[in-house]
Copies of this chain bind each other. A is one copy, B any other.
Amino acid sequence: MPPRRPKQPTIGSFLFEYLHGRGARHAFGIPGDFALPTFWWLERSPIELITMTHEPAVGFAADGYARIRGLGLACVTYCVGGLNMLNSIAGAYAEKSPVVVVSGGPSATERQGDQLLHHKVKTFDTQRRIYEEVTCANTILLDPETAADEIIRVVDTVIAQRRPGYIEVPHNIVDAPIRPPRVKKPVPAVSDQESLAECLREATGFINQAKRPVILAGIELHRHKVTRLALDLAESFNIPMAADILSKSVIGETHPLYIGVYSGALSEPPCRDYVDQSDCVIMLGTFVTDMFLGVNTSRISRRLSILSTTERTRVGLHHYDGVAFADFLDGLRQAKIRRRPAFKNPNPAVDIKPLGASERNDPLESEDVFRLLAQHVDENTAVVCDAGDALFGAMSLRTAKRKEFIAGAYYLSMGFAVPTSIGVMAADPKKRVFTIVGDGAFQMTGMELSTAAKCKMAPIVLILNNDGYGTQRIILDGEFNEIHRWQYTRICDVLRAGRAMIVSTKGQLDDALTAAVGSEELSIIEVRLPRDSVSPALRRLGEELARLRGPHSEAEHPKPKRTPRSKKVRRRAQ
């Protein structure tokens, strides 16, 4: 019945019109039979679909897009698609990235009884129940009467909470006419004025009494678009600021008040010392994670800190209910906080020394990568980092202009960077993207460069090849950290796109970066590093954890004798 008059609004057309209206200009997806009618409507909507190769990548791309544009969209099929994407959406939940998952599904009729329909796992509700664990709102559009309301509820909750939501679309319902929405939009929450006043009074007094307050600028400032309020606060009262790994680059890194990325023992020492010795750490929009705390090596105490986020507000040991994040920031900015005298930045941005002629033939170490990369990064750049030392190394990357920095720095899923870069490039085609990824993580999702090639995108991919799971080697080594050695540069032949280089000296890397930036093609730079080369940040953390004697220290798990690779595997023909 329906698309004979395609102008008549259906549930399919309404769904994508509404998502488009709320900011989704692109969708990432892979179709499947239960989802085909939904994809049919998507293709006729104003949203541009980017079909990818594998569902884990679909979720990451939508997450990357959401971090730039404020709303991401991932379209998949029932179970074989949705469950395959679960990990990336779990990461978006953990790090508050607003992604709407649209999944195909069986019809209401098919759900009657308990028939074994292909793609079904335990019950017809399995996928929705699973997604309940990684989303802030979810629905199955079984009833055309309420479909519009349900779509609006889930999408609006996603945007309000900056967390993923789930909409399951029975394959036969997209063609049904949409009914107008009936519910009114919820009124946004306002602060409890009495609590807000008391909280601001106490915070103001606390800050004014402190000898050296410091602001930690968290990722929620960026997610909720209130970074300016925090900057005003710092500038008005002359209070220094640090970021954390997840919020790196939320504050411009050459700001005179900016002292670096704080993450306990992972931090550069002057930044770490300043924060750990502060008598008033003002955490604004911060996720207080074990990564933020430098694998719990941080010395920030609750008593000597303030925490304000969308979920909680605390001044020292006093918790407050009903205090909205933006109201607290706004109130603090207008409070009677004394302006501090001139501040001597203990860890200022310094001009990066260009590569000297004498060091061009030096073999590359991990720390050189980011020093050299820094010279090629500017305000038109986005840096997307994978988990592991690609991330820790990037802590020292401090650049002249405000740029985008994207990393799964709390959930720490390997395989994040390449597919997330696809989303970042779609979200902002003007940005040149550097993708920094270890060899182990690249083997997980690196072939998603196929989608970059298909879409004529030109990321510059640095594969930090230290021949295995290097970050894990620091913790506990064994045969299990070995991976197969790929010829990464030959991927360009498989994908019929791009240019590839192998570099192992500082001069080669510098030249390769120059060439890549000058090219309009996708570039793969395989950076050959010694097996034991680690970033300064990871080295600092390793030393601190060795002092603290972690539970997996070498003393307890003695290093096994090196065995030849694949010792036990027999050849088939033997």
Complex CA–CA separation, A175 to B122 (angstroms): 35
Q: Which residues of B contact A544 (CB under 8 A)?
A: none
| A39 interface residue (CB < 8 Å to B) | yes
Residue A54 at the B interface, CB < 8 A?
yes
- Given A43-B479, A86-B130, also A484-B495 (CB < 8 A): yes
B493/A572 in contact, CB under 8 A: no
Answer whether residue A481 sits at the interface, using C-beta atoms and an 8 A cutoff: yes
Selected from B120, B126, B172, B494, the residue in CB contact (under 8 A) with A486 is B494
Q: Report the minimal beta-carbon distance from A206 to chain B, rounded to whole angstroms.
A: 24
B87-A80 in contact (CB<8A): yes
A573 touches B458 (CB 8 A): yes
Residues of B within 8 A of A43 (CB): 478-480, 560
Q: Known contacts A43-B560, A290-B116: does B494 contact A454 (CB below 8 Å)?
A: no
Question: With A and B bound together, what is the CA distance between A120 and B94 in angstroms?
Answer: 7
A488–chain B nearest beta-carbon distance, Å: 7
A42 to chain B, nearest CB (A): 8
Which residues of B lie under 8 Å from residue A93 when comparing CB positions? 121-122
| A:2-45 near B, CB below 8 Å | 2-3, 29, 31-33, 36-37, 39-40, 42-44
Q: Is A342 an interface residue (CB 8 A)?
A: no
A171 within 8 A of B: yes
Nearest CB in chain B: distance from A458 CB, A = 5
Stretch of A183-191, A194-202, A563-571 at the chain-chain interface: A563-571
Q: Does A157 contact B (CB under 8 A)?
A: no
Say which one of A277-285, A327-335, A439-447 lies at the interface with B: A439-447
Do residues A480 and B411 form an inter-chain contact, with CB atoms below 8 A? no
* Complex interface: stretch among A370-378, A395-403, A504-512, A550-558: A550-558
- The stretch from A227-235, A468-476, A528-536 touching chain B is A468-476
A133 adjacent to chain B (CB < 8 Å): yes
Are B36's CB and A552's CB within 8 A?
yes
Q: How far is the CA of A87 from the CA of B279 in the complex (A)?
A: 49
Contacts of A48 in B (CB 8 A): 568-569
Instruction: Give the contacts of A104-133 with B (CB-CB under 8 A).
Output: 107, 115-122, 126, 129-130, 133
Instruction: Name the interface residues of A539-556: CB closer than 8 Å to any CB of B.
Output: 551-552, 556
Give the Cβ gap from A407 to chain B, nearest Cβ, in Å.
12
Category for how many chain A residues contact B: 35 or more
Q: Is the CB of B450 within 8 A of A40?
A: no
CB distance from A498 to the nearest CB of B (A): 12
Q: Find A116's partner among B410, B414, B469 (CB 8 Å cutoff).
A: B410
Q: Closest approach, in angstroms, between the C-beta of A546 and any C-beta of chain B?
A: 16
Cβ contacts under 8 Å, A3 to chain B: 556-558
- Chain A 453-491, CB-CB to B under 8 Å as 1, else 0, gives 111111000000000010010011011111111111011
Min Cβ gap A484→B in Å is 4
The residue of chain B having its C-beta at the shortest distance from the C-beta of A123 within the complex is: B133
Contacts A425-B572, A456-B572; A118 near B411 (Cβ below 8 A)? yes
Say whether B566 contacts A455, CB under 8 Å: yes
Known: A48-B569, A289-B118, A556-B1. A472 touches B54 (CB 8 A): no
Alpha-carbon separation in the docked complex, A371 to B31 (Å) = 30
Q: Closest residue of chain B to A459, judged by CB?
A: B572
How long is the Cα–Cα vector from A79 to B90 in the complex, in angstroms?
A: 8
| Interchain CB contact under 8 A, A456 and B571 | yes
Contact between A410 and B118 (Cβ–Cβ < 8 Å)? yes
CB contact between A572 and one of B50, B121, B458, B476 (< 8 Å): that residue: B458
Does A318 interact with chain B (Cβ within 8 Å)?
Answer: no
Note all chain B residues with C-beta closer than 8 A to A94.
120-121
**A87-104 Cβ-contact flags toward B at 8 Å (1 or 0):** 100110110000000000
10 more contacts with CB within 8 A, not counting A36-B475, A116-B410, A457-B569, are A37-B551, A39-B476, A42-B480, A43-B480, A48-B569, A83-B87, A83-B134, A450-B486, A454-B483, A456-B572
Please name 23 pairs of A and B residues whose Cβ atoms are closer than 8 Å in the assembled complex, sorted by A: A3-B557, A36-B552, A43-B560, A51-B479, A51-B480, A51-B483, A54-B415, A54-B443, A54-B444, A80-B87, A83-B86, A83-B87, A84-B87, A94-B120, A115-B290, A116-B288, A118-B412, A119-B412, A121-B133, A126-B133, A130-B130, A443-B447, A450-B484
